Every structure is written in C-alpha cells, then in structure tokens.
C-alpha cells in the first residue's frame, strides 16, 4: 500500500516547515502499518494555475498526478493562514479538479476507492475550518474520508509560537495522528477488499 503526503507549506526548501514536522509523526505511523510513503513539497514545484492535468511546458503537476494514481492514501497537509488553507493547498485542490473527468478501466472516477485525510498546523484557531474545507474538496473529487482522518496543532487564537518552537500540544497531535493513520489504512484495506462500483448511469 502506498500513501502520498502533499505538504502545502508556503516555505520553499530547505527552510524548516512546521507542517512537515507534524506530518513526519503521521508518516511514521503509516510506515508502522507497512505503508510506503511519498512526500511532495508543493511550493518547490511549478504548479501552473488551471484545472487540467497538464497545463503545458514547465508544468510539474503531471508528476504529482502520477503519484496520486499510484497511492491508495492521500494526506493534504496545510498551515493555517487567515483562518483558511494555504494558497498552495488551494492550488493543489484546483489541479486535482481534473480528476473529476478521469475514470479507470471500469468507468469509476479515479479517486474512487482511495482514502484521504488532512493535517493542519498554525497558531490561529482555524484548524477545524481548514480541515472541513480541504476534506469537502477531496470528497467532491471522489475520495473516501474516514472518520477522524485528521490531526492538527495550534495554541489557540492570535499570534503565538510555531510547532517547531513549542512542545506544548505535541503529544495530543501525535496521538491523534496515529489514530488518523490507522483509520486511513484500515479504510483503504476495506475499500480494496470491497471496492465502490462505478456510479449508476
């Protein structure tokens, strides 16, 4: 089983990413279930605006699209900015919109029988809003969102320290992340054993 984590931080490599640091705890839990994990730091790529799988010369999205189709589990990891998902996360979801028109050999939308979850960091009290926005988009595309397929970290509203600068709350975020990983893996296995059929015509 394969998983893809798309880190939607605004910070290009090699700058430290709080979102990457929290994602590492979920990745470790996934690997504990025998899952192979790929990580994409979207801000490092040239992801052109648009809603097609390939937007032409220099577009790096087709490579990400291949990883999506090779993975049974997807995690979108985003910081909170102004109480909302990052602009990079929105760009990723817009590019995934093309998957609505793609089907497999059994005429199922390509996101069917794949599961997805969301991971959020930030020092604003907007984590549940970000989770709901991203989860809603992923469900529209066709992903199955298991119960409690998320984790987040923040220290309440207003300015404050970053995840990498403060150990408070880490135990809860890590524990919730382990539950997230377990729920994603077991839901993916269930769909593998009994896949959703193509939508009725």
**pLDDT at residue 156 in the model:** 77
Domain assignment of residue 151, yes or no: yes
Q: Is residue 26 part of a domain?
A: yes
Q: What is the 3-state secondary structure (H, E, C) of 134-180?
A: HHHHHHHHCCECCCCCEEEECCCCCCCCCHHHCCCCHHHHHHHHHHH
The CATH number assigned to the domain holding 187 equals: 3.40.50.360
Mean of the per-residue pLDDT values of the chain: 95
Whether residue 200 lies inside any domain: the answer is no
Rounded Cα–Cα distance for residues 134 and 84 (Å): 10
Tell me the whole-structure pTM to 2 decimals.
0.96
Query: Could you give the number of structural domains in the chain?
Result: 1
Q: For residues 80 and 66, what is the distance between their CA atoms, to the nearest angstrom?
A: 27
Residue 96's domain comprises: 2-193
The answer to the question of residue 201 being in a domain is no
Domain presence at residue 198: no
pLDDT in tens, 58-98: 999 999 999 999 999 999 999 999 889 999 999 999 999 99
Residue 57 lies in a domain: yes
Q: Domain for residue 69, yes or no?
A: yes
SS3 content of the chain, % helix, strand, coil (to 5): 40, 20, 40
- In a domain? residue 118: yes
Q: What is the pLDDT of residues 172-181, one digit of tens each?
A: 999 999 999 9
């Amino acid at each position: 089983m394969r998983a893809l984590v798309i880190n939607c931080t605004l910070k290009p490599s090699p700058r430290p990413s709080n979102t990457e640091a929290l994602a590492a705890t979920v990745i470790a839990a996934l690997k504990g279930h025998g899952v192979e994990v790929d990580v994409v730091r979207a801000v490092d790529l040239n992801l052109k605006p648009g809603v097609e799988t390939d937007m032409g010369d220099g577009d790096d999205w087709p490579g990400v699209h291949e990883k999506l189709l090779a993975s049974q589990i997807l995690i979108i990891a985003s910081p909170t900015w102004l109480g909302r998902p990052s602009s990079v996360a929105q760009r990723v979801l817009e590019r995934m919109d093309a998957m609505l028109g793609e089907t497999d050999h059994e005429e199922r939308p390509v996101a069917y029988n794949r599961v997805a979850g969301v991971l959020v960091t930030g020092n604003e009290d907007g984590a549940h809003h970000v989770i709901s926005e991203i989860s809603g988009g992923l469900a529209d595309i066709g992903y199955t969102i298991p119960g409690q397929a998320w984790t987040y970290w923040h220290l309440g509203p207003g300015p404050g320290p970053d995840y990498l600068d403060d150990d408070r709350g880490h135990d809860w975020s890590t524990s919730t992340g382990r539950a997230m990983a377990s729920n994603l893996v077991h839901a993916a296995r269930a769909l593998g054993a009994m896949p959703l059929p193509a939508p009725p015509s």
